[in-house]
Amino acid sequence: MKTTGDKILDKTLDKIGGKGLFVKELDRALLEEKVDITVHSFKDMPMDIDDRLPIVAVSKREDPRDVLVLPKGVDEIDFGKPIGCSSLRRKIQIEKIYPGCTVEPIRGNVLTRIEKLDRGEYSAIALAYAGLKRLGLEDRIWRVFSTDEIVPAACQGVVAVQARKGFDISFLANFHDNDSWDVSVAERSFIKALNGGCSSPSAAFGVIQDNQIILTGFYVDKNNRIFKMTKAGDRNQGEALGYNLAVEMLKGMGIYG
């Protein structure tokens, strides 16, 4: 099924309605019982989800990091051309790593973006490691950014399954990963508390250590000030952890309290 987000490729998502454009048609198909489950990249799902269509399972997290891909046969960035990037979150962090570079929007699926790159339209493109790995294109990766260099999008690398409330999902028991779920809850809670989404340069990345989640939040305010903060909390209290980290960050920005 093609969604509105797949079809409109000449504008960035924040200009046409945000992440909800990738789920609208699929939600309708679920509600009309045309399909029993839908499968999404969890990072592309809006923060507010229809109560009738809960997330019922999530995959084990693939590599969450962001990467740069160069044109085929090229081994150095030509800064005379723009870096293609569809995410404001990535753009801001890339510009910090490569001062003076030009970053311009690029839309389309991974293969379409790589075709544009290889045609010479861009010097490089920024993508999620997970998407390239799932397509068997890891050999195209030129640079892998650490999660400290570029804080990943909330739930990057996690696949989410959605179904109608009450639908028998016992067949997903061996697919569902509790670690991914606990971390995803914390990351999404942080973004939601900041009222973040596609147009807001925000990010969250959590890892589980012992029985805790170590959660890092990233946010850029309207004055282009970058805020980054890390907080630890009980893995079973991820929603509260994400919310509290957002509140602390907003206080630091002088916006809250």
Q: What's the distance, Cα to Cα, between the start and end of the chain in Å?
A: 45
| Token pair recorded at residue 71 | 């044109």
Which of 27, 36, 44, 51 does the annotation list as catalytic?
44
For residues 210 and 221, is the Cβ–Cβ distance under 8 A? no
Please list, residue by residue across 88-124, b when 16 or more beta carbons sit within 10 angstroms of its beta carbon and e when fewer do.
bbbbbbbeeeeeebebebbbeebeebbebbbeebbbb
**CA 208 to mean position of chain CA atoms:** 19
Q: How far is CA 139 from CA 77, 119, 147, 237, in A?
A: 17, 18, 20, 39
Alpha-carbon span 207 to 194, nearest angstrom: 20
Alpha-carbon span 247 to 257, nearest angstrom: 9
Alpha-carbon span 92 to 221, nearest angstrom: 12
Widest pairwise Cα distance in the chain: 55
Alpha-carbon span 28 to 1, nearest angstrom: 12
Query: Side chain identity at 139, as an amino acid letter?
Result: D
| Residue 36 falls in the annotated catalytic set | no
Mapped onto helix, strand or coil, the DSSP state of residue 174 is: coil
Residues noted as catalytic: 44
